[in-house]
Amino acid sequence: MTVDSPPAPVQLDTPARPRRIPPAVLLIAPSIVFMALLLGWPVIQGVLQAFRGDEGFTLDYITRMVEDPYFWPAVRNTLLLIAVMIPLQFVFAITMALLLRSNPRLNKVHFFVWAIPLALSDLAAGLVWLSIFNDRGYLNSVLTSLGLDSIPWLAYDNPATLFLCVLVAEVWRSTSLVLVIVVSGLQGIPKDYDEAAQVFGATFWQRLRHVTLPLLKPSLQVALILRTILAFQTFAVAQALTGQNFPLVVGETYRWYTALQNPNVAAALALVILVASMLISVFYLRALRDKGQEGTR
C-alpha cells in the first residue's frame, strides 16, 4: 500500500486520561474535512449539474453534448493521442532510464536536462512548439534553407500533421514524468540480478525482457495509470498549437464553459473524463495485478 507504517509506538495509556480521541485522528481530521468539501462535494455537484435540469432529471445536456459537431472528433482525437503517445513515451522513457543506468559521461547533466519538462505546463509546451511548427517558424525555416518546401504543419486541413505536432509536443513535455518514475524504480532494483543473468550469458534483450522489466512492473503500473489519467486532461497543448482545429475532450469542456457559457454541458463533458479515468485505472490495476500486489514495496 501507500506507506508502510513502522510498528506503532507503544502508547503508555494511563487509565486516568479521559480523552478518547487519539492524536492521529486529530492530525488527519482537517485533511479529511478539507478534501470532503473541495473534492467530494464538487464531484457530487458535477454529477447533479450534468443530469439535473429545471424540472428534475434530464438527459438534455448529454444529448446536447453528443450532438455537438466537435464532440466525436474530440473523443476520437483524445483516444488516438493516448493510444499512440503512451506506448511511445514508455519506450522512450525506459530507453532513457537504461541509458542513464549505463552511467554515461555527464549523466547528472543529462538527467537534469531530461527532467526539465517535468515542471512545464502543457500550455508552455504548446507555445514552445508553436515557435517551431508555425508556418513561418523554425522548422520551416530549416526546411527552406535546406532547399525543401515548407509544410503548413498546423493548417486545419492537414489533420495528420496537426496530430503529429500535438503528439511531438506532448511526448516532449510529459515523458520526463515517466522517466523519473522509471529511474526511481530502477534504483530500487539491485544490480545483482542483472549481473547474474549476464554471467549466465543472457543477451541484453533477454535481460531486459526477463529480468529488468518484470522487476520494474510496479513502477510501470504506477506510471501508466498516472500518465493515462493526465493524458486525458491534455488540452492546452492543442489549444496553443492549433486553436480549435484539434479538439480534445477537456478543451471542449473549456469551450462550453467559457465561450458557450453552458456549465451544465461542461459538467457532462467533465464526467466523460472522470468515467474514462476511472475505467482505465481499474483496467490497468486488473491487467497488471498478479505481480503488482506484493511488488509495490
At residue 181, the 3 state secondary structure works out as helix
**Residues 171-230, interacting with other proteins (CB under 8 A):** 172, 177, 180-181, 183-185, 187-188, 218-219, 222-223, 225-226, 229
Q: Which is nearer to other proteins, 84 or 132 (CB)?
A: 132
Give the type of residue at 20.
Answer: R
Residue type, 34: F
89 touches 267 (CB < 8 A): no
Strand residue runs (E) in 119-249: none
- Build a one-symbol-per-residue string for 52-91: x at contacts with other proteins by CB under 8 A, - elsewhere: ----------------------------------------
The binder of other proteins chosen from 62, 84, 120, 208 (CB under 8 A): 120
CB of residue 181 vs other proteins: minimum separation in angstroms? 5
- Using CB under 8 A as the binding rule, the residues of this chain from 261 to 290 that contact other proteins are 263, 266-267, 269-271, 273-274, 277-278, 281
Binder among 16, 17, 18, 27 for other proteins (CB under 8 A): 27
Say how far apart CA 235 and CA 161 lie, in whole Å.
Answer: 17
**# residues near other proteins by CB under 8 A:** 109
Nearest CA to 269 among 81, 66, 60, 42?
A: 66
3-state helix, strand, coil split of the chain in percent (to 5) is 75, 0, 25
What's the closest the beta carbon of residue 84 comes to other proteins, in angstroms? 18
User: Rounded to an integer, what distance in angstroms lies between the CA atom of residue 94 and that of residue 214?
Assistant: 13
Note whether 178 and 221 are within 8 A (CB): no
Q: Is 260 in the site for other proteins (CB under 8 A)?
A: no
Distance from C-alpha of 76 to C-alpha of 74, rounded to nearest angstrom: 5
Give the shortest CB-159-to-other proteins separation in angstroms.
20
> What character string, x for contact with other proteins (CB under 8 A) and - otherwise, covers 136-175?
xxx-xxx-xx--------------------------x---
- Minimum CB–partner distance for residue 221 and other proteins (Å): 9
